[in-house]
Amino acid sequence: MASDSEALQGLYDKHCVQGFKYAYGTAGFRYNADVLDTVMFTTGVLAGLRSIYLGGKTVGVMITASHNPPQDNGVKIVDPRGEMLEKSWESYATELANSASQNFASFQNKLKELLEILKLDLMTPGCVAVARDSRDSGPRLLAAFKTGTEVLANLQVTDHGVLTTPQLHFLTCKTNDLGQGAVIAETLYFKEFLSAWDELTMLCNIQSLPYKIRIDAANGVGAPKVEEMLGARSFFDNTFTVVNGDWKNPPALNHLCGADFVKTNQRLPQGISGDAKQGPHINCSFDGDADRVVFYYVNSVGEFKLLDGDKIATLFAKFFQELLQTAGLRDELQLGTVQTAYANGSSTHYLEKMLGVPVTCTPTGVKHLHHEAVKFDIGIYFEANGHGTIVFSEKVTELVTQKFSDASESKDRHNALQLLLVFSKLINQTVGDAISDMLGVMAVLSILKWTPEQWDNEYTDLPNKLIKVLVPDRTVFKTVNAERQLVSPVGLQQSIDDLVDKFDNARSFVRASGTEDAVRVYAEAATRQKVEELVTMVGQLVEKS
Ligand SMILES: CC(=O)N[C@H]1[C@@H](OP(=O)(O)O)O[C@H](CO)[C@@H](O)[C@@H]1O
Ligand SMILES: [Mg+2]
């Protein structure tokens, strides 16, 4: 630790300002970039402490505000296996930030208290790997973060520069897997997923994609990364186009484009037209840090059709169910899906009733979904907004290897077993990843020889709408039952239920956002007109409460 109080104060004074109250939300700290310097400094300290606490394992830190507007930024800590920070440490992160936001003495006391509670041996070396997205506040906030890491004397900091969020998760995990001496760079990421793609296309004899893909990269960091990655394989020559790839122009980030814009507005982003002259193709949109992807197409009568996270989850569920059947592992490996309350009711019905695949519902935020998904052997989790992945248990590899060595198995069965393993490599299991998920979806569509329409026709979404309501204090909105019911403000849930009862096939719920200063209202109903009516009325109830 900075040897004396004076040195510590010197570091503190460089970046900390007083007065702002922070909270570690759905995806870390996320606010207007102007108020983030203090929390960046304390996150530098805390990430270091977390690494030391874990015996020197590398802890990741991502500076991003994902789908938020360009003036925002944020930071989140990634645990050594690439998962989100353990829950109990979220409060330490919040307390340390708020103490620094009071004054130097509070910060110093809180740090001392944390060292005592956590019984940290400061001689243990620690390692932190940091990356940022393309926002223009990134370099300034990175500097504040690095000053925070200087509070701990034995901390090694690796700055990976500009990466997508899933690249940082992946590299954090790899650093710990490969250990000292290994060269950890983004080429590892490209190599890993491209090798899996090569293996898959060879195994399934796929010479080219069935149609072209247009990628809306939200003018974010996903643009240069996907271009570099796919550009490295002749397989992808003339098959993909990146639109909204202006990542060096930060004000354009997420503006009229990107996964969140497309999902929320249920329309094409800027730069992608519904022009049928383009030949057979599919479109997809990444979000600003490329950990989400949604697909879409324009049908023969010119309608915009969204293939969101629910559609991705159901596609994978159907595919893996059939693959397990062919592999002869349907009874031995448990396939399951995890959704949040924002999943379209039709998708849940399709999974449970049509496919017979179990569905667990958790609160919003991939950390919650991931936690439940690992309870299955093949756990598919996607938020409706396209954020998600698939996790495979060790039992999958064990059983596949065991069965594979059985020469009496048929060729089809051998292929299915191999395909299971290849998919477990093609999918970035550490976290939702727009690039890896996109390749996963394209692989499934190529194998099934499905058009976007065929994928879409598996079930029809109920008309739905998500709106934001600004309230004086969103913290009064408290929920239970995986965020589907409000317990505060008292009486509001009853009024919502009474209203929903008046609509056919309807559902609506309200919760405070964990990333924006707003309350979200979601509604589904039998028709587009009815859903507009319902969401507006629930929104009015929220405003009045
Ligand atoms: C309805 C919705 O899409 N909520 C998003 C959003 O969280 P909120 O807590 O709703 O602001 O951002 C999260 C982080 O990207 C993402 O995990 C989540 O799904
Ligand atoms: Mg994101």
Q: What percent of the chain has pLDDT over 70?
A: 98
pLDDT reported for residue 507 = 96
Task: Please tell me the distance from the alpha carbon of residue 545 to that of residue 170, in angstroms, as a whole number.
Answer: 44
Pocket-forming residues, ligand 1, beta carbon under 6 Å: 26-27, 66, 342, 364-366, 383, 385, 387, 513-516, 520
Q: What is the band of 1 on the pLDDT scale with cuts at 50, 70, 90?
A: low
CA of 27 to the centre of ligand 1 (A): 8
pLDDT reported for residue 81 = 95
Task: Please tell me the distance from the alpha carbon of residue 199 to that of residue 88, in angstroms, as a whole number.
Answer: 40
Identify the structural domains of the chain with CATH numbers, from first to last: 5-183 (3.40.120.10), 189-194+204-307 (3.40.120.10), 309-434+441-456 (3.40.120), 464-544 (3.30.310.50)
The stretch 496-525 carries a mean pLDDT of: 95
pLDDT reported for residue 517 = 87
Q: Is the pLDDT of residue 2 over 60?
A: no
CA angle 66, 339, 505 (to 5 degrees): 115
Task: Please tell me the distance from the alpha carbon of residue 168 to that of residue 61, in angstroms, as a whole number.
Answer: 8
Phi, psi (rounded to 5 degrees) for 508 = -155, 145
Return the sign of the alpha-carbon dihedral for residues 300, 301, 303, 306: negative
pLDDT reported for residue 521 = 97
C-alpha distances in angstroms, 111 versus 45, 102, 108, 155, 215?
9, 13, 5, 16, 45
The stretch 499-504 carries a mean pLDDT of: 96
Among the listed ranges 1-15, 45-59, 149-163, 480-494, which one has the minimum average pLDDT value?
A: 1-15
CA of 515 to the centre of ligand 1 (A): 7
pLDDT reported for residue 4 = 83
66 is catalytic: yes
pLDDT reported for residue 405 = 82
Q: Spot the catalytic one: 66, 101, 134, 424.
A: 66
What does the pLDDT look like over 172-215, one tens digit per residue?
999 999 987 888 899 999 999 999 999 999 999 999 998 999 99
Q: Is the pLDDT of residue 122 over 90?
A: no
Question: Hey, what are 275's tokens?
Answer: 């022009």
Mean pLDDT of the chain: 95
CA of 67 to the centre of ligand 2 (A): 6
Pocket perturbation via mutation, ligand 1, pick of 67, 385, 478, 516 by most ligand atoms within 8 A of CB: 385
Cβ distance 165 to 133 under 8 Å? yes
Q: What is the band of 163 on the pLDDT scale with cuts at 50, 70, 90?
A: very high
Q: What percent of the chain has pLDDT over 90?
A: 91
pLDDT reported for residue 262 = 97
The reported pTM is 0.95
Q: How many CB atoms neighbour CB 290 within 10 A? A: 32
Cβ distance 159 to 90 under 8 Å? no
The stretch 85-102 carries a mean pLDDT of: 96
Please name which ligand lies nearest the alpha carbon of 286: 2
Task: Please tell me the distance from the alpha carbon of residue 198 to that of residue 190, in angstroms, as a whole number.
Answer: 12
What does the pLDDT look like over 276-297, one tens digit per residue?
667 789 999 999 999 999 999 9
What does the pLDDT look like over 242-251, one tens digit per residue?
999 999 999 9
CA of 184 to the centre of ligand 2 (A): 23
pLDDT reported for residue 462 = 96
What does the pLDDT look like over 311-320, one tens digit per residue?
999 999 999 9
- Cross-strand bridge partners of residue 157: 128
Q: Is the pLDDT of residue 223 over 90?
A: yes
pLDDT reported for residue 408 = 76
The stretch 89-95 carries a mean pLDDT of: 97
Among the listed ranges 98-107, 221-230, 397-406, which one has the minimum average pLDDT value?
A: 397-406
The stretch 71-98 carries a mean pLDDT of: 96
What does the pLDDT look like over 367-382, one tens digit per residue?
899 999 999 999 999 9
pLDDT reported for residue 254 = 98
C-alpha distances in angstroms, 74 versus 51, 99, 324, 439?
20, 18, 40, 28
Cβ distance 291 to 165 under 8 Å? yes
Residues 6+ apart with CB under 8 A from 22: 29, 31, 38, 39, 94, 97, 98, 101
- Residue 515 assigned to a binding site: yes
- Number of H helices and E strands in the chain, helices first, is 18, 19
DSSP state, residue 288: T
Q: Is the pLDDT of residue 390 over 70?
A: yes
Task: Please tell me the distance from the alpha carbon of residue 457 to that of residue 25, in angstroms, as a whole number.
Answer: 36
Q: Is the pLDDT of residue 34 over 60?
A: yes
What does the pLDDT look like over 232-266, one tens digit per residue?
999 999 999 999 999 999 999 999 999 999 999 99
- 320, containing H or E segment: helix 309-327
Closest CA to 390 of 376, 405, 407, 411: 376
* Closest atom of ligand 1 to CA, residue 291: 15
pLDDT reported for residue 195 = 98
